[in-house]
Structure 1
Amino acid sequence: MTDGDGTGDDSVTGSATARDGRRDVVVPMRLYKTVTVFSTLIAVVCVVFGFMLLDAATLNVSFLGGAVDAALSAVGVAVDDGVVSTVLAVVALGVIGFGAGVYTLGTRFRARGMGKSQEDANEDSDNNG
């Protein structure tokens, strides 16, 4: 069920396979806007929070690091500072990676009628003047 122009547009499933193997999902404009806004928001929040966790892992004077130490002390758990720093650093990298993954998946969506500039520009550009 391809459209015959080599792009692999599948009208039944609403997805397209480009020549590089990337699959795009064609959705209505309202869903496209929703996915774009929320994937970008989640990605930004995850990256900022991840860097806050990295800061807490590397600096003993950070607010978040102090809050984690206070919460562990309140529960009665005695944990070495090196273990807390290591766990915070691993969680921070995981949160940053999760945000990057959400953003990457969000870029796979496009609205009907939207083309990609790489595929639309078939002519060679002449940058020599």
Structure 2
Amino acid sequence: MVVPMRLYKTITVFSTLLAVIGILGGFVVLDVATDRAQAAASDVSIGLALLGVALIACGAGAYAFSTRFRTAGMGNAKDDADEGSHNG
């Protein structure tokens, strides 16, 4: 999706911030749920573990969402058919 440069910068900054917070927060919650991977299987907090995995997935999704945007001058590498093969 082609957007203006100002919107592209805003999307990139905030989606990267949300992705980092989500992924790091997810690992922290997962670490707490498993007591630093020291807890027995019966002592693991399933709710916190699922919350941690969900935060990691949401962080990854936020980053993947942000890669869908581009500005008018960026182009799209897979649409550039005018370049020939320079493979020998």
- Name the TM tier (shorter chain): 0.7 to 0.9
Give 1:81 shift.
Answer: 4.6
Distance 2:84 2:54 in 1: 42
Match of residue 33, structure 1, among 9, 23, 46: 9
Unpaired runs of 5+ residues, structure 1, are 1-24, 61-79
Aligned length: 83
Root-mean-square deviation (Å): 2.1
Q: Partner of 1:94 in structure 2? A: 54
Query: How far has the Cα of 1:123 moved from its partner?
Result: 2.0
Which residue in the other structure is 1:119 paired with? Answer: 79
Offset, 1:113: 1.8
Q: Deviations over 1:32-73 (max 9, x none)?
A: 01001111110011000000011011116xxxxxxxxxxxxx
Q: Give, in angstroms, the shift of residue 114 of structure 1.
A: 1.2
Aligned ranges 1:96-111 → 2 under 5 Å: 96-111=56-71
Query: TM-score normalised to the size of structure 1?
Result: 0.57
Q: Which runs of 4+ in 1 moved over 3 A?
A: none
Higher strand share: 1
Larger radius of gyration between Structure 1 and Structure 2? 1
Higher relative contact order (CA 8 A, sep 6+): 2
Compared CA separation, residues 87 and 125, structure 1 to 2 (3 A)? farther
- 1:68-103 deviation line (CA, Å, top 9, x unaligned): xxxxxxxxxxxx954xx1111100011111111111
Q: Distance in 2 between matches of 1:34 and 1:90?
A: 30
Matched, 1:54 2:30: yes
In the alignment, the residues of structure 2 paired with residue 125 and residue 43 of structure 1 have an alpha-carbon distance, to the nearest angstrom, of 37
